[in-house]
Structure 1
Amino acid sequence: MTHELTASRLASASSNATASGGWWRDAVIYQVYVRSFADSDGDGIGDLRGVRERLPHLARLGVDAVWLTPFYASPQADGGYDVADYRAVDPLFGDLSDADDLIRAAHALGLRVIVDVVPNHTSEQHAWFRAALAGEPGARDRYHFHPGRGPCGELPPNDWESVFGGPAWSRTPDGAWYLHLFAPEQPDLNWENPEVAEEFSAVLRFWLDLGVDGFRVDVAHGMVKAPGLPDIGRGAQATLIGIEPLPFFDQDGVHAIHRSWRRLLDSYEVPRIGVAEAWAPTSERLALYVRPDELHQAFNFRFLNCPWDTTALRTVIDESLAATASVGAPTTWVLSNHDVVRHRTRYGSLARARAAALLMLALPGSAYVYQGEELGLPEVTDLPDSARRDPAFARGAGQDGLRDGCRVPIPWSGEEPPYDFGPAGSWLPQPAGWGGLSVAAQTGDPHSTLELYRAALELRRAMPGLGAPEAGLPETAGAGPAESGMQWLPAPEGVLLFTRPGFACTLNTRPVPLEMPSPGRPVLSSAPVETDGRTVRLPPDSCTWWSL
């Protein structure tokens, strides 16, 4: 079946794609955490119909695509990232017809749809794992089952730790051990078994044929483990992810999988994309995931984790652009997602969060917006323990277990919870006082964060120096900001200043105002700017866009 974008948005997207080699190269993609976006049936949990009903908000915001977190059949041990059936919609979120309706409605509004795929592990309730536990011949070969160490096999096969904390191995009643890099309910698949690759090719085709425009690949760095499953020799392994080489992440063998998926994606007439959630120790290692024959995008977590400091920011930006340009790929910027503390809270103020958003949207490449950041939502830090659902919360020495704070359902209107999230309550409690942060309250307020995002996305689409930042780059482009039409200029301490064709951006990271020569005519700022045309007084913790 076919799903068409509206004529005007399709024409714009096609024009950008022609200019820059693909619509995704400069796209702004909005992440919907499905269970926390909009509830249509009153059970307190967001669902696909709720998402579909709220799509006009995303169209008005001005994003190019929506990424949906998993809505597949699942026991929900890890918010749906434990999949029991990759071809079925969990009743919590609706049914397959709701998914089809959502995709059609998004396309009618000119929005593309990206869905999560979870290939590193399944749910323990998946038919394959149930067969493995039942001892069916060959079933355990689809997972990592191994004998234990010690005189009676009572010790795990190695010293690997779960990302969520505790051992990465659990023992079955018959004495065998199975690997789970996340929760015990999420057994890791064995990608050396050809049945696994065949199954996921079929799963991808199922959703592509339904009309999705691409996949965000969960744990894209994790499907292949080092031969022999060697010990690491130290604890607190979760703190090493993305910093040091690990035998269970970022192994070279994952790239053969991604190349096979790229061939599958390219076999469709309308371009479809793959997005890697990949943690790698360096920008150069991350760039391997977006070589011309692999995936199209990879999240830039080094940028997400960068402190509010001009030297650190410039270093990360330069290294990121150089690494991706070396393989002819766009850089993919992100500030928040469903696994990290919201950037308003990380940076310590709404002013910094607004400034960081304008910085991100001014950089060459693609950007991701996490639901609620356009409202300036803070992290909810005072959830009662009884309300938490993060599986890492009760486990030690892994993730902090506090990811629920960024997953609280977002406010749409009204002065009291659930702020029109749904007809009743919400699966995580919403704070009092969020009424002023709702979509309805901020709409039309020129000083609101929502209107700032709307204005930024409109300008990003309209200004020649922003819309197609890497136009004309060959697949074997050189390295560095200059190849993306970006140039750093001298600026006072604590200030970043760069230009792109017809455009300049200033970022003042200092907590005090600062005067400097005016780069041009201000067109958008995260805080009021004073200028006489020759000099400008930059507000503290602010970012300003300039027309040259």
Structure 2
Amino acid sequence: MSCSWWQGAVVYQVYPRSFCDASGDGVGDLQGIKSKLGYLAWLGVDAVWLSPVFPSPMVDFGYDVSDYKDVHPMFGTLQDFDALVAEAHRLGLKVILDYVPNHSSDEHPWFVEARSSRKSPKRDFYVWRDPKPEGKLPNNWLSEFGGPAWTFEECTGQFYYHAYHPRQPDLNWRNEELVREMLDVLRFWMERGVDGFRVDAIRHLVEDENFRDNLPNPDWREGDSPYEAQLAVNTTSRPETYRAVGKMRQTVDEFGERTGKELALIGEVYLPVAQLVSYYGGAEHGPLFDAPTNMHFTRLDAGSWNARDLAAHVEEYEAALPAGAWPNWVLGNHDRPRVASRLGAERARVAAMLLLTLRGTPTIYYGDELGMTDGEIPPGAERDPVAKSAPGYGRDPVRTPMHWDGTPSAGFTTGEPWLPVAGNHREVNVEAERKDPRSSLSLYRRLLALRRSEPALSVGSYRTVSADGDVFAYAREGKRESLLVVLNLGSEPASLPLSGPGRILLSTRLDREGEKVEGELPLRPDEGLVLRVLQR
């Protein structure tokens, strides 16, 4: 089977502010990331995804871009970026860069010019609307960060639209000049050697051209995110969005054809399966994303951690994939609580086995391989704009510094960390866990090594075997080998009847490798196993 590089790959997300600080100013940087690439190669991942490193006023920590073709001095220089890419490639690692096409910073020169006059040449780079009578909002659209999605500009007497923070005005992808500029951003970074892009907030890219109200969400309940009180039918996944993604796809493919380089295009898509798979493309729009991200697992918690629901989601997703499409799985990221906080330490180990043994490309969030949990942010120390506009939904706890060792700043910086280091860093850190053969880090490394050595895991087929009680079992099959993954999702012992003999290749407890099993397979609480199916 001939595969694209990203199909058999494991992606590792680095949040640059929090990974490693080489300068000592308390904020991670490119030289710090470069110094730790050897660790990632040792861990066994294949690609490094960098969250934004562009110039930015950091209202949303880099997702408010003021220059798409440079690096924020806080992170370093373009030369530092080039050196990072060169070192990653030397170590056999791919580099995936965040691309933020939905909105810019209000400090971007385009918006500075656009807001100065209704006659500005850049005015139509953004989405403007006259007030309704008596100065009322143009419609009922809401911001993901809380409150209305419209901000009034006194200077020109119009509202501008922002799907996120008021200082993140949405770009107008109906303007052809803007489209040319944004596609040229892709070319700029491809010329610098990146191997692909993770495209941010793609479903928000284009809005209803008639600016119709969104509908109320009948399933919304008190305590849910305020943004989810509406069905965002007129602000997300519009038909024009798919056409815009098609232009990104064409730009990336044209560069690949010219250079002989294969590039990946990954889309951030928080959507149910039926809508998610539309972003792979099809007859109407042609090929779109290689991997529209499946975020289902980022919402796993104790209430949804059961065999029936997990198996049902995997089967629904597999069945919905267009012909030739490749699945992907995300367990944690910079927007959702950490897996070890959602599930607990032991279940997080089983979740790691789930992530790395299903069919598809998995993404690991930095520190999850250690079992890092959400940090504690003291009152008044919040940095995330969401924490200020929608209390209780702040993302700072999942962005605390990486734990490299047990020193006070966790080996992250010689200065004062931009966010407090999590309290368990003295035990949960790279230095300590590298020495412990039963640690979470050791489990991840062995899972990654097994995945790399077994084609059945990296590119083989998937088939559900059992989803009974607390036990979720599935087969991964290649041309010559068949593996069985068995996960006990419960806190009590369980068992699974086997149809034939097998040999345990890996246990989440790291103590049953080589054990031959037949008949009834016993499982300890919160234990996952990978077995090689043996011939009689």
Same fold (TM over 0.5): yes
Aligned match of 1:204: 186
Q: Residues 528 and 205 (structure 1 numbering): CA distance in 2 closer, same or farther, change over 3 Å?
A: closer
Aligned match of 1:356: 351
Q: TM-score, normalised by structure 2?
A: 0.91
Q: 1:278 offset after TM fit, Å?
A: 1.4
8 Å Cα contact 2:297-2:332 kept in structure 1: no
8 Å Cα contact 2:471-2:496 kept in structure 1: no
Aligned match of 2:150: 169
Aligned-partner Cα distance in 1 for 2:63–2:355: 28
Question: What does 1:238-253 align with in structure 2 at a 5 Å threshold?
Answer: 244=231, 246-253=233-240
8 Å Cα contact 2:385-2:394 kept in structure 1: no
Render the CA deviation track for 1:306-341: whole Å, top value 9, x for unaligned.
Answer: 4201111011111111222x2421111011000000
Quick check: 1:285 aligned with 2:275? Answer: yes
Q: 1:385 offset after TM fit, Å?
A: 2.4
More displaced stretch, 160-169 vs 429-438: 429-438
Aligned-partner Cα distance in 2 for 1:149–1:491: 55
Quick check: 1:461 aligned with 2:446? Answer: no
Question: What does 1:360-371 align with in structure 2 at a 5 Å threshold?
Answer: 360-371=355-366
8 Å Cα contact 1:417-1:431 kept in structure 2: no
Aligned match of 2:493: 513
Q: Give RMSD over aligned pairs.
A: 1.9
Q: 1:111 offset after TM fit, Å?
A: 0.2
Q: 1:533 offset after TM fit, Å?
A: 2.3
Aligned-partner Cα distance in 2 for 1:463–1:43: 43
Q: TM-score, normalised by structure 1?
A: 0.89
Render the CA deviation track for 1:142-195: whole Å, top value 9, x for unaligned.
Answer: 1111111123xx211111111010111111113211111100110001111111
Task: Structure 2: state its 5+ residue gaps.
Answer: none
What letter is aligned with 1:533?
A: V
Q: Residues 517 and 511 (structure 1 numbering): CA distance in 2 closer, same or farther, change over 3 Å?
A: same
Aligned match of 1:330: 326
Aligned match of 1:429: 420
What letter is aligned with 1:524?
A: L
Question: What does 1:84-233 align with in structure 2 at a 5 Å threshold?
Answer: 84-135=66-117, 136-151=119-134, 154-174=135-155, 175-233=157-215
- 1:403 corresponds, among 390, 395, 404, to 395
8 Å Cα contact 1:376-1:437 kept in structure 2: yes
Render the CA deviation track for 1:352-378: whole Å, top value 9, x for unaligned.
Answer: 111011011111110000000000001
Aligned match of 1:26: 8
8 Å Cα contact 1:159-1:167 kept in structure 2: yes
Q: Residues 108 and 522 (structure 1 numbering): CA distance in 2 closer, same or farther, change over 3 Å?
A: same
8 Å Cα contact 1:300-1:332 kept in structure 2: yes
Aligned-partner Cα distance in 1 for 2:379–2:147: 20
Q: Residues 457 and 288 (structure 1 numbering): CA distance in 2 closer, same or farther, change over 3 Å?
A: same
Q: 1:118 offset after TM fit, Å?
A: 0.4
Secondary structure of 1:202 counterpart:
helix
Aligned-partner Cα distance in 2 for 1:33–1:412: 15
Question: What does 1:268-283 align with in structure 2 at a 5 Å threshold?
Answer: 268=256, 269-280=260-271, 282-283=272-273
Aligned-partner Cα distance in 1 for 2:33–2:238: 36
Q: Residues 170 and 245 (structure 1 numbering): CA distance in 2 closer, same or farther, change over 3 Å?
A: closer
Aligned match of 2:380: 386
More displaced stretch, 225-234 vs 186-195: 225-234
Q: Residues 532 and 457 (structure 1 numbering): CA distance in 2 closer, same or farther, change over 3 Å?
A: closer
8 Å Cα contact 2:142-2:227 kept in structure 1: no
Secondary structure of 2:33 counterpart:
helix
Aligned-partner Cα distance in 1 for 2:32–2:511: 39
Runs of 4 or more, structure 1, over 4 Å off, are 235-245, 528-532
Aligned match of 2:526: 541
Render the CA deviation track for 1:386-427: whole Å, top value 9, x for unaligned.
Answer: 22111111113xx843200000001101x3321110222210
What letter is aligned with 2:367?
A: G
Q: 1:279 offset after TM fit, Å?
A: 2.4
What letter is aligned with 1:122?
A: S
Q: 1:432 offset after TM fit, Å?
A: 3.2
Q: 1:304 offset after TM fit, Å?
A: 2.5
Secondary structure of 1:367 counterpart:
strand
Q: Residues 490 and 170 (structure 1 numbering): CA distance in 2 closer, same or farther, change over 3 Å?
A: closer
Aligned match of 2:463: 487
8 Å Cα contact 2:102-2:202 kept in structure 1: yes
Aligned match of 1:313: 310
Q: 1:21 offset after TM fit, Å?
A: 3.0
Q: Residues 400 and 218 (structure 1 numbering): CA distance in 2 closer, same or farther, change over 3 Å?
A: farther
Aligned-partner Cα distance in 2 for 1:27–1:243: 37
Aligned-partner Cα distance in 2 for 1:369–1:493: 28
- 2:335 corresponds, among 331, 335, 339, to 339
Q: 1:273 offset after TM fit, Å?
A: 1.2
Q: 1:244 offset after TM fit, Å?
A: 4.8
What letter is aligned with 2:408?
A: P
Aligned match of 2:298: 304
Q: Residues 102 and 468 (structure 1 numbering): CA distance in 2 closer, same or farther, change over 3 Å?
A: same
Secondary structure of 1:364 counterpart:
coil
Aligned-partner Cα distance in 2 for 1:27–1:227: 39
Higher RCO (CA-CA < 8 Å; seq separation 6+): 1
Q: 1:113 offset after TM fit, Å?
A: 0.2
- 1:65 corresponds, among 44, 47, 57, to 47
Q: 1:259 offset after TM fit, Å?
A: 1.2
Aligned-partner Cα distance in 2 for 1:95–1:71: 10
Q: 1:491 offset after TM fit, Å?
A: 5.7
8 Å Cα contact 1:417-1:425 kept in structure 2: no
Q: Residues 63 and 239 (structure 1 numbering): CA distance in 2 closer, same or farther, change over 3 Å?
A: farther
Secondary structure of 1:500 counterpart:
strand
8 Å Cα contact 1:303-1:313 kept in structure 2: no
Quick check: 1:78 aligned with 2:85? Answer: no
Q: 1:528 offset after TM fit, Å?
A: 5.6
Aligned match of 1:500: 476
Aligned-partner Cα distance in 1 for 2:167–2:2: 42
Aligned-partner Cα distance in 2 for 1:156–1:244: 18
Render the CA deviation track for 1:119-150: whole Å, top value 9, x for unaligned.
Answer: 00000000010001211523221111111112
8 Å Cα contact 2:350-2:487 kept in structure 1: yes
Render the CA deviation track for 1:267-294: whole Å, top value 9, x for unaligned.
Answer: 22200111000123x3122112123611
Aligned match of 1:259: 246
What letter is aligned with 1:496?
A: F
8 Å Cα contact 2:215-2:230 kept in structure 1: no
Q: Residues 361 and 429 (structure 1 numbering): CA distance in 2 closer, same or farther, change over 3 Å?
A: same
8 Å Cα contact 1:26-1:364 kept in structure 2: no
Residue-pair matches, total? 506
Render the CA deviation track for 1:495-522: whole Å, top value 9, x for unaligned.
Answer: 1111122200001111101133356211
Q: 1:492 offset after TM fit, Å?
A: 4.2
Aligned match of 1:473: none
Quick check: 1:373 aligned with 2:364? Answer: no
Aligned-partner Cα distance in 2 for 1:241–1:522: 45
Aligned-partner Cα distance in 1 for 2:420–2:270: 31
8 Å Cα contact 2:96-2:194 kept in structure 1: yes
8 Å Cα contact 1:310-1:494 kept in structure 2: yes
Q: 1:80 offset after TM fit, Å?
A: 0.5
8 Å Cα contact 1:287-1:327 kept in structure 2: no
